[in-house]
Amino acid sequence: MNKGRILVVDDEPDIVQSLTLRLGAAGYQVMSAMDGLGATKAAIEQQPDLIILDIGMPAGNGHVVVERLRHIGATSHIPVIYLTARTGEDDYRRARDGGVAKYITKPFEAAVLLAAVEDQLERSQPSR
Amino acid sequence: MMTSGDTASPMLNLLIVDDREANLLSLSQLLARDDVRIFTALSGNEALGLLLEHDFALVLLDVQMPGMDGFEVATLMRGHERTRHVPLIFVTAISKDRQHIFSGYDSGAVDYLFKPLDPHVIRSKVAVFLELKRSQLARERLLDSLSRANAQLEEASLVKSDCLAAASHELRTPLTAMKEFCSLVYDEVVGPLNPEQKRCLETALRNCRRLGGIVEHLMDLDSLETGRLRVRRGSVDVGEIVRTAAAAYSARCRSAGQKLELSVPPCPQDAEALADPELVAGVLAQLLDNAHRFSPSGGTIRLRVRRLDARITVEVGDQGQGIEPAHRERIFLKYGQVDRRDGPGTQGLGLGLAVATRLLELQESRLDLVSTPGRGSIFGFSLAAYTESAHLRAFCGDGVRQSTRRWEPRCLVLVADRAGLALPEWLEPAAERAATGPDERWGAVPLYGRPALAALVRLEDPGAAGWVAGLAQQEPAPGAATSLIWTAVDVDEAGTPGLIAPAAEWFELVSQEAPQVEGVWR
């Protein structure tokens, strides 16, 4: 079964691996990137249905990635969920301004993340 | 002209003014000391010149001098900021009549000496003033070093906050991986488990969550201490917040065999308080968490909201072991958990009640405790019932408090009034009076281009209504930090503000993101 294609971006391999296992078990097809540049490339080339994005990363942090994706026609519509250890007011503000769908802080509850993913994919269904 | 020498104690300057060279010479010799530099002047003019150049511990001033006499010199000295506080002793040979003496004291002399001078008297008098100057200098040095130490402490506090923030961030990532992999195994994503394995992982996961909670609390408490938390009070349905908090805890309490009882006024108006909803929810979460952890299985946790006069009170009662009077103070401190070994919850750093206490302080409330050892505790707090004028007051008060804490104004209120009405004192620190002159000056009130958040305008003042109408049509000046919000305010003779117009619009605008204000302009 394939409930949707999700791009997971985090510079911590352990986090990427755990998310791949978790989302895979929930029936999603998962691809991954480890930095900002990789995230942008993967988003353009593989056209995921949803991106789960870390903020603190090398080669373009999450905010930079979101800004780039919003300016590229092929990726501007892809919903983004932040999954980050950052809790600064500035990060919340930039997330809101960049149209990020959901802001989840680490450590997170798997059930919360899965619910957010499902919710986002349902919302963007009609436009796909 | 002067004697000098480098000694450990700083040299002090003494000025002697007399039109006769011989007098200057004899006084200089009489008063010569290693730690004193003596300046002399033959006229008032010369004395004033020296006074502007040097810092003097004392001036001995002859009264009778040709040209400018001693009283005139004294009067001129009192008129100048730099010389106003220099101690003066008048020296005079004649006119022992009282009239003269009084005129001397009026022009600021601290003492009066008559010729011929008694060497003992004058030496000891001068010594007293030198001592005074020395202790004043020492005090200034002390103040200076204190303010430097203060600056260092503030700097250290900033470093501490940064360290905590960095530590919290660094801890989160490994903690996330740890918890997520435990959880993957526990959820049997990677293969089936036997019941024993499942129990072990449950314990691991519970501790991961606890660690996460500690990281969270550390940051909460730090942001409260450093004043980074923004308080935004408004109308709050406390009953609703209590219901939501109880719902969030019901599952946890049920699984621990605890009962949750709720008592909320049926009419929402009896639970409408002036508070910051997020802070109230934060306090309730801490109190519920506390009650849940310290109540035994089979116990009942009682949540009660009541209106008592102009206050809305909230109580959270548990049936735990209660708190001994001796431990009361401690539990409100950071890390100050009372050791209750055989209770169901011996875990936890005890940050929760400290956080709750701070959150309440920010809303001008406090945490109360009624406890009977062996029977249980009731933690409670009360909030002001909502009224519009209390809201306006709180809004300005919160803004001012934040600005003094962080040295940058968050809220500036412009008060435009023609009559120069007395401002209530809580408003004064945040206010700039824009206009107090006649009608024509309304047009000159420079509001746009200023980072003002609000203008309080008394509409019945002549010209005010037209001014407001004109303002509404103006384009904000380029570079203005924010647009202007205005409302009509009526301030009665006692200085109590009441809003003339319905204030809904005002508060709606004000509760939006507060603009960044750069620098104070006063």
Other Cβ atoms within 10 Å of B492 Cβ, number = 9
Tens digit of pLDDT for each residue in B297-345?
888 999 999 988 888 999 999 888 877 777 776 666 654 444 444 333 3
Fold exhibited by the domain B155-225: Helix Hairpins (1.10.287)
pLDDT at B185: 94
Other Cβ atoms within 10 Å of B171 Cβ, number = 18
Closest approach of A76 to chain B, Cα-based (Å)? 27
- CB-based contact A15 B169, cutoff 8 Å: no
**Average pLDDT along chain B:** 70
Instruction: Tell me if the domain spanning B234-384 has CATH number 3.30.428.10.
Output: no
- CB-based contact B190 A21, cutoff 8 Å: yes
Average pLDDT over residues B96-117: 65
Residues of B with CB under 8 A from a CB of A: 165, 168-169, 172-173, 175-177, 179-181, 183-184, 187, 189-190, 208, 212, 219
Q: 95-114 in A: which are within 8 Å (CB) of B?
A: 105-108, 110
Asked if pLDDT for residue B272 goes beyond 50, the answer is yes
Write the CB contacts of B85 (distance below 8 Å, at least 6 apart in sequence): none
3-state DSSP percent of chain B in helix, strand and coil, to 5: 45, 20, 35
- CB-based contact A108 B181, cutoff 8 Å: no
Q: Which two tokens stand for residue B424?
A: 């209530």
pLDDT at B37: 93
List the CATH code of the domain at B12-117. 3.40.50.2300
Asked if pLDDT for residue B107 goes beyond 70, the answer is no
* Closest chain A residue by Cα to residue B219: A87
Average pLDDT over residues B217-228: 65
Per the model's pLDDT, the better-predicted residue between B464 and A27 turns out to be: A27
Residues of B in contact with A85 (CB under 8 A): 169, 172-173, 176
* Closest chain A residue by Cα to residue B214: A107
Given this chain, do its domains B155-225 and B234-384 carry the same CATH topology?
Answer: no
- CB-based contact B173 A108, cutoff 8 Å: no
- For B310, B400, B414, B496, B514, the CA distances from B426, given in Å and listed in that order, are 20, 9, 14, 10, 20
Asked if pLDDT for residue B356 goes beyond 60, the answer is yes
Share of chain B above pLDDT 70, in %: 62
- CB-based contact A21 B168, cutoff 8 Å: no
Closest approach of A26 to chain B, Cα-based (Å)? 9
Q: Which two tokens stand for residue B452?
A: 């003002």
Identify the residue whose tokens are 């490339």. A41
Average pLDDT over residues B486-490: 40
- CB-based contact A21 B189, cutoff 8 Å: yes
Tens digit of pLDDT for each residue in B60-90?
988 888 888 888 888 888 888 888 888 888 8
N-terminal to C-terminal alpha carbon distance within chain A: 18
- CB-based contact B176 A15, cutoff 8 Å: yes
Tell me phi and psi for residue B425, to 5 degrees: -65, -25
Q: Which of A88, A107, A110 lies at the smallest CB-CB distance from B172? A: A107
Closest approach of B338 to chain A, Cα-based (Å)? 28
DSSP secondary structure string, A29-91? EEEEESSHHHHHHHHHHH--SEEEE-SS-SSS-HHHHHHHHHHSTTTTT--EEEEES---HHH
Closest Cα partner for B172 from A26, A28, A95, A14?
A: A14
Q: Which of A86, A88, A108 lies at the smallest CB-CB distance from B176? A: A108
Q: Which two tokens stand for residue B247?
A: 């719902």
- B384: confidence class by pLDDT, cuts 50, 70, 90: confident
- Distance between CA atoms of residues B225 and B359, nearest Å: 10
Share of chain B above pLDDT 90, in %: 10
Asked if pLDDT for residue B423 goes beyond 50, the answer is no
- B387: confidence class by pLDDT, cuts 50, 70, 90: confident
* Closest chain B residue by Cα to residue A12: B173
State the Cα torsion A43-A44-A45-A51 to the nearest 10°. 10
Instruction: Return the exposure string of B462-488: e unless at least 16 CB atoms fall within 10 Å of the residue's CB, then b.
Output: ebbeebbeebeeeeeeeebebebbbbb
Set out the domains of chain A in order of their start, with CATH numbers: 5-121 (3.40.50.2300)
Decide: helix, strand or coil at residue B126: helix
Cβ of A14 under 8 Å from any chain B Cβ?
yes
- Distance between CA atoms of residues B399 and B232, nearest Å: 9
For chain A, which residues score pLDDT lower than 70?
1, 126-128
The segment with the largest mean pLDDT, out of A25-29, B397-401, B450-454, is: A25-29
Task: Quote the DSSP letter at residue B385.
Answer: B
Q: Where are the domains of chain B?
A: 12-117, 155-225, 234-384, 388-510
Residues of A in contact with B183 (CB under 8 A): 110
Q: Which two tokens stand for residue B313?
A: 């009170």
Whether ipTM > 0.95 holds is no
Name residue B415's beta-bridge partners: B433, B456
Q: Which of B165, B172, B184 lies at the smallest CB-CB distance from A18? A: B184
